[in-house]
Amino acid sequence: MSKLLENLNAEQFAAVTLPPQAALILAGAGSGKTRVLTTRIAWLLQTGQANPASILGVTFTNKAAKEMLTRLGAMLPINTRGMWIGTFHGLCNRMLRAHYREAALPQTFQILDTADQLAAIKRLLKTLNVDDEKFPPRELQHFINGNKEAGHRAAQVEAWDDYTRQRVGLYKEYEDQCQKEGVVDFAELLLRSYELLSRHEPIRRHYQLRFRHILVDEFQDTNRLQYLWLKLLAAHGAETPAAVFAVGDDDQSIYGFRGAEVGNMRDFEREFGVANVIRLEQNYRSHGNILDAANAIIANNSKRLGKNLWTDQGSGEPIRVYEAPGDMDEARWIVEEIQQLIRDGASRSDVALLYRSNAQSRVLEHQLFSSGVAYKVYGGLRFFERQEIKHALAYLRLLANPDDDTAFLRVVNFPTRGIGARSLEQLQDAARSFNTSLYATVPHLAGKPGVAIGGFLRLIEEMRRATDGLPLYEVVDHILDASGLRAHYRAEREGQERLENLDELVSAARYFMNEAEQPPAEGEEALPGDPLSRFLAHASLEAGDHQAEAGQDAVQLMTVHAAKGLEFDAVFITGVEDGLFPHEQSMNDLASLEEERRLMYVAVTRARKRLYLTLAQSRMLHGQTRYAMKSRFFDEIPEGLLKWLTPRVQAGFGAGAYHTPSRNAAWNSQHSSPDAAKRNPGAGAVQKSRDLAGLRIGQLVRHAKFGDGVIIAAEGSGQDAKLQINFGSAGVKWLLLSLAKLEAV
């Protein structure tokens, strides 16, 4: 056991060995959070304070859950299967499958992912003849999910105005539709599980008695409902509550926009009477200058629980800043710099390009591509979200649950079998009057439309008969042919990749049965549900990696959000401009600006050795060139930590103070770059234009009243010239050059 605790620092040690009471671990970036969490579990088990079955480990992502299991497996020669470790949604799914009757769900209930949910809402609006201009489906989806995540059923939503009352009505209709079809969306998994526990005392007691240790990762990301769920499971307020060990970092809370409540951390501390708040502040990832910058930035936020990262690794290099005239120049410079890093011995996968919004990746990709630098973009469609996969899954869903109208409509005419919109409309009308699912309505349908659709029904029934008793992967393989999906994509010119993905789905099913789901060992509870339903749940809950081809040596491109939890030797944070980062839609109220600041904090703390902040004076955005000033976050970093690689005037001084534009020391600091001088692009001298008394578009100017701004457009020339200037918070103004006393900065 001593071996387990070896090499923990004092705070980590204290956290791991806390008595079994409510505890809050404030784990800074790179402070060994996952290690503490897993070591805690291992320690509880090894000291006999807990047995595997009494442990509940909750994470947000499947990746985190898997990592926890893997690390535990490496620490202890124990069977991890007795523990419940998984995501909130995965655990709720498991619970609902085990108690589907009490939860009032069919045994084979299906899970709607976000896209399925949106489709279901659109369909609902259509059947109810509701104007989707007045109730945009996406907005309604947001409304429904927001309410569910706050723990409110339609009946509990307070509606003060007519519009809200109408939306609540639609929420109710949506609930009914899902119930009728036997499907649940993501938020429903949580809410239904919460209601199951609160309404069925024996079930609640069972789990409360069982899970004596509840460990929660990324606690700052929990929403209200998740917090209530934990509180219920932990038997909060009872004589013998479970020990909740919550790990999180309020400074890294970047999912407020989707319902995360940082306030849960404070509530937890107060409501659970947390006696032990432990701060993990020693950072094992980044050099000192990087941490100093991160600390300085986040210090501007209010209502923090308080934390200051430190390292014993030394201060390292300054933070390099490059300001380019345009986004293309920014990308070009970054790629040249990356090539230099690679020449100096860095490997491509040690380098990350981070951006605030996905749209920024295009220019970077273009530049990387034309320079022949291998790169990999994170984001975009995942395996189980691909069109052909969703089609195949829809057939499987119909096998498992014929009442799933979403699945029915998805494939009733795909591949096309002559079932048009009109016959479907008739079917939907009939289904509404019979109050049955589409599938169940077909036999009631007399006459013409019934003929073609009847053929579809027979196809599904034939599939069901032919696959009865087959192992899962053969079921999948069979429906791919029987449905005509394979034939369809074979005939499509660009269908090759889709065919391969369909084959991959068969492999995924085989893998799922063999590896992911080993049969329970002796004495272990079996996972509830039939294999097909379990596989379909798996497909919804774990849509797969964002991009395969891992391991390849490529520069990593992703949003700052996607970078959370990752680390790289060299990090470029790009587009560090006001309006982009902080994003313009989040600059104007304190709460969202603070979330932007936390996002910057996350971005900065991804870097181990070297950090670059780059920006462009102008960039193509929404189809037009836009001009911006450097991000306000620059002002929050001590000047001494920054090294401007482009000429820059110190604010408040008229002249000079240019920083060296030369190349910096080489990656491993053995030698400096030989072509340094010739690659200095001399930013700022690029856009020569009409005579504007020495001013040019894109230039930074100072106005006595409005402060600093950027010239974004001009009309006329000479002393008649009118200039449009973006003064940031002071607004965008048209000024007459002859009147406005402008000073070039």
Catalytic residues: 33-34, 217-218, 252, 606
* 50 vs 352, beta carbon nearer DNA: 352
**Residue 12 binding DNA, by CB under 7 A:** no
Cβ at position 541, least distance to DNA in Å:
4
* 237 vs 380, beta carbon nearer DNA: 380
**Residue 678 binding DNA, by CB under 7 A:** no
**Considering only 154-162, 419-427, 641-649, 695-703, which stretch makes contact with DNA by CB under 7 A?**
419-427
* 370 vs 669, beta carbon nearer DNA: 370
Alpha-helix residue ranges (DSSP H) falling in 279-420: 288-298, 327-343, 361-370, 387-400, 405-411
**Considering only 268-276, 288-296, 413-421, 467-475, which stretch makes contact with DNA by CB under 7 A?**
413-421
Task: State residue 544 phi and psi, 5-degree precision.
Answer: 100, 170
Single residue of 562, 604, 641, 692 touching DNA by CB under 7 A = 562
Q: Restricting to residues 349-388, which ones interact with DNA according to CB under 7 A?
A: 356-359, 362, 379
Query: Annotation-wise, does 150 bind a ligand?
Result: no
Q: Restricting to residues 309-338, which ones interact with DNA according to CB under 7 A?
A: none
**CA 549/CA 99 separation, integer angstroms:** 39
Contact 320, 645 (CB under 8 A): yes
Cβ at position 100, least distance to DNA in Å:
18
Number of residues this chain uses to bind DNA (CB under 7 A): 45
Query: Annotation-wise, does 164 bind a ligand?
Result: no
**Residue 166 binding DNA, by CB under 7 A:** no
Single residue of 205, 258, 343, 490 touching DNA by CB under 7 A = 258
**CA 513/CA 532 separation, integer angstroms:** 10
Single residue of 60, 100, 633, 706 touching DNA by CB under 7 A = 60
Contact 576, 629 (CB under 8 A): no
**Per DSSP, what are the bridge partners of residue 24?**
246, 277
User: What's the token pair of residue 138?
Assistant: 């996406």
Contact 279, 11 (CB under 8 A): yes
Query: Annotation-wise, does 421 bind a ligand?
Result: no
Query: Annotation-wise, does 27 bind a ligand?
Result: yes
Single residue of 34, 107, 339, 413 touching DNA by CB under 7 A = 413
User: What's the token pair of residue 695?
Assistant: 């001013």
**Considering only 288-296, 342-350, 367-375, 556-564, which stretch makes contact with DNA by CB under 7 A?**
556-564
**Residue 34 binding DNA, by CB under 7 A:** no
* 18 vs 121, beta carbon nearer DNA: 121
Cβ at position 420, least distance to DNA in Å:
4
Q: Restricting to residues 582-611, which ones interact with DNA according to CB under 7 A?
A: 583, 585-586, 592, 596
**Residue 251 binding DNA, by CB under 7 A:** no
| Of 323, 382, 422, residue with least CA distance to 627 | 323
Task: State residue 110 phi and psi, 5-degree precision.
Answer: -105, 155
Query: Annotation-wise, does 738 bind a ligand?
Result: no
Query: Annotation-wise, does 28 bind a ligand?
Result: yes
**Residue 531 binding DNA, by CB under 7 A:** no
**Residue 410 binding DNA, by CB under 7 A:** no
Task: Name the region of 532 (left: φ>0; alpha: ψ -120 to 50; beta: rest).
Answer: alpha
Cβ at position 253, least distance to DNA in Å:
12
**Burial status of residue 507 (CB atoms within 10 A of its CB: 0-12, 13-18, 19 or more):** exposed
Q: Which amino acid is at 167?
A: R
**Residue 61 binding DNA, by CB under 7 A:** yes
Cβ at position 66, least distance to DNA in Å:
9
Q: Restricting to residues 75-114, which ones interact with DNA according to CB under 7 A?
A: 87, 89-90, 113-114
**Residue 263 binding DNA, by CB under 7 A:** no
Cβ at position 138, least distance to DNA in Å:
9
**CA 226/CA 60 separation, integer angstroms:** 11
Query: Annotation-wise, does 86 bind a ligand?
Result: no
Task: Give the relative orientation of helices 387-400 and 448-467 as an angle to the nearest 10 degrees.
Answer: 80
Task: State residue 608 phi and psi, 5-degree precision.
Answer: -85, -60
**Residue 490 binding DNA, by CB under 7 A:** no
- By residue count, the chain amounts to 745
**CA 309/CA 330 separation, integer angstroms:** 31
**CA 167/CA 247 separation, integer angstroms:** 37
Contact 566, 352 (CB under 8 A): yes
**Considering only 199-207, 212-220, 542-550, 717-725, which stretch makes contact with DNA by CB under 7 A?**
542-550
**Residue 121 binding DNA, by CB under 7 A:** no
Query: Annotation-wise, does 256 bind a ligand?
Result: no
* 454 vs 707, beta carbon nearer DNA: 454
Single residue of 1, 10, 155, 421 touching DNA by CB under 7 A = 421
* 402 vs 582, beta carbon nearer DNA: 582
CB atoms within 10 A of CB 50: 20
| Of 656, 657, 743, 623, residue with least CA distance to 693 | 743
**Residue 546 binding DNA, by CB under 7 A:** yes
**Residue 123 binding DNA, by CB under 7 A:** no
CA dihedral 251, 252, 258, 264 (to 10 degrees): -50
Contact 687, 711 (CB under 8 A): no
User: What's the token pair of residue 139?
Assistant: 């907005």
User: What's the token pair of residue 25?
Assistant: 């671990």
**Residue 9 binding DNA, by CB under 7 A:** no
Single residue of 7, 47, 63, 731 touching DNA by CB under 7 A = 63
**Residue 464 binding DNA, by CB under 7 A:** no
Any residues with CB less than 8 A from the CB of 582 and at least 6 apart, and which?
A: 593, 596, 597, 600, 631, 632, 633
Handedness of CA 102, 103, 104, 109 (dihedral sign): negative
User: What's the token pair of residue 640?
Assistant: 């001494």
Single residue of 542, 577, 594, 708 touching DNA by CB under 7 A = 542
Any residues with CB less than 8 A from the CB of 576 and at least 6 apart, and which?
A: 613, 614, 615, 630, 631, 633, 634
Question: Which positions make up the binding site for ATP?
Answer: 27-34
Question: Which positions make up the binding site?
Answer: 27-34
| Contacts with DNA, residue ranges (CB under 7 A) | 60-63, 87, 89-90, 113-114, 122, 132, 186-187, 254-255, 257-258, 356-359, 362, 379, 413, 416, 418-421, 541-543, 546, 558-559, 561-562, 583, 585-586, 592, 596, 620, 622-623
